A and B are shown apart, each in its own frame.
Chain A
């Protein structure tokens, strides 16, 4: 039950970050493809919990805002997206 509540909070917080333009970097970074290898140091630690589903619309909005020519494309294979396919104004802020 506690886990369920924790997961719900994570989803809620993730959604809030995604909804606020400025906070979306944290959301995107959390889902970046850098996890898994860095903290191992031998042995077989338990697999990290799957990251919560990320708002696709929020992800797109946050990434479109990045205009630097010097960064690499983000790996999206490790991200589970949550889609809202009915919000016709979802991207108005970047138009």
Chain B
């Protein structure tokens, strides 16, 4: 196996990120692979896709890709801008062949003013991004602003037919709200951020909506204990433990697209998110803002560094040695005998680890056809496309009726709520508990999975009522100030 190289020529400051043969993936994947820990701005952490359950919007599909994990709200003065040298994408396969048919492509840029104060006889640049309070309507005291463009590509993500998505006035650039600095800078962050939900005109389709901005981290997990050899009681109460991501923010890339724009030959779509960087980077030994000479120069082909479809795949399914490779891979190759990842699903290690750690009996049936359906092909009769090519992505039957927040079951399909994970993923789906139960054999017979019906849990509760019921669903991010 080849490994990605990250070469820094000490004297020169050349960093070359090479990717041949590299790949790496994850889902609910905060820092899940070695290489992606070096570049948090492009670290995809969670991906959601569900039929919109906001009142009056059930003809739409909401797709949300979260990036930039473990944001502490007080992380100024730079906060958590997305990478202007990266390509953030959401791919949709609508014919089951595991190749993207539609791609939504986001590129960001940051505009910064050099604001100076008269200090004595000199004009001196200030170290902050704002010099006073601001609102969406009046940003005169804000001196750094992110914006982005959004394209839709039909066909191959690099060579397909590309078209600009615009706002309803034809503008190709969308503003992104500044992160939640605190209430002295932004008095009403909720209202401020909501001003950046944009109606969009999609070529060949009717209107949708887009929002990109900071949100309260929606993924809830007893993270520290899970990675400390599951240092918790996996058979305890589902709310007995602490959500250790509760004090973190995240950046969401959210789309609401008409159902009819996403479907192809059938009613089942698959989707995943990726981020890519230019293959090479030269570090600048003497950056000069004035002359537009940034701290680095990037070039070369887009090179994928993060991939995320279903949650927890790269975190707890893919082996450590293959995590980087998974992040650079494409679904179409998942089942390849040499370069694929099928063994991790058909012969998973997580149940065996739980057996070693807790004495519960792991399933004995191999290959695990139940996991293949849950993670690679979709469930027959629910979200498995006709003639599907096995691959890891999040699959959704867009005709499954949505449920309002109060009616959703956080355990989704295994609890009889077919509008939930793994038929898509909603904010309130408890994917950790679902994944634990599925890998331990909840879908198998007692013969094949003696302890398969136990109520495995990480103890961190999540349900739909913890979120907004309107786009973009995730809560207002924690403020950096006041801290207490």
A→B interface (CB under 8 Å): 56-57, 59-60, 63-64, 66-77, 81, 83-88, 90-92, 94-95
Contacts and interface: CB of A to CB of B under 8 A. Distances in A.
Interface string B120-148: 00000000000000000000000000000
Nearest to B288: A77
B293 interface: yes
A85 B301 contact: yes
Given A60-B282, A64-B9, A66-B9, 20 more contacts: A56-B280, A60-B280, A60-B299, A63-B12, A63-B282, A64-B16, A73-B13, A73-B283, A76-B282, A76-B285, A76-B297, A77-B293, A85-B299, A85-B302, A88-B279, A91-B18, A91-B300, A92-B20, A94-B16, A95-B18
Interface string B19-36: 010000000000000000
Contacts of A67: 9
B7 interface: yes
B285 A86 contact: no
A81 B10 contact: no
Contact of B16 (A66, A73, A74, A91): A91
A84 B278 CA distance: 11
A69 B297 CA distance: 22
Interface string B271-295: 0000000111011111010010100
Contact of B297 (A56, A66, A88, A94): A56
Interface of B: 2, 5, 7, 9-14, 16, 18, 20, 278-280, 282-286, 288, 291, 293, 297, 299-302
A81 B293 CA distance: 12
Contacts of A88: 279, 301
Given A76-B297, A83-B299, A63 B14 contact: yes
A70 B285 CA distance: 15
B284 A76 contact: yes
B278 A74 contact: no
* Central interface residue in B10, B12, B278, B299, by most chain A CB within 10 Å: B12
Nearest to A86: B301
Contacts of A57: 280, 299-300
* Central interface residue in B280, B284, B291, by most chain A CB within 10 Å: B280
B297 A73 contact: no
Contact of B7 (A70, A71, A94): A94
B283 to A, nearest CB: 7
A53 B285 CA distance: 20
* Central interface residue in B20, B293, B300, by most chain A CB within 10 Å: B300
Q: Which 10 A-B pairs have the closest CB atoms?
A: A71-B11, A56-B299, A73-B13, A73-B285, A95-B18, A60-B280, A88-B301, A63-B14, A63-B12, A83-B299
18 contacts: A56-B280, A63-B12, A63-B14, A66-B12, A71-B12, A72-B285, A73-B11, A73-B13, A73-B285, A76-B285, A77-B291, A81-B297, A86-B301, A87-B300, A90-B279, A91-B16, A91-B300, A94-B5
Contacts of A91: 16, 18, 279-280, 300
A34 to B, nearest CB: 14
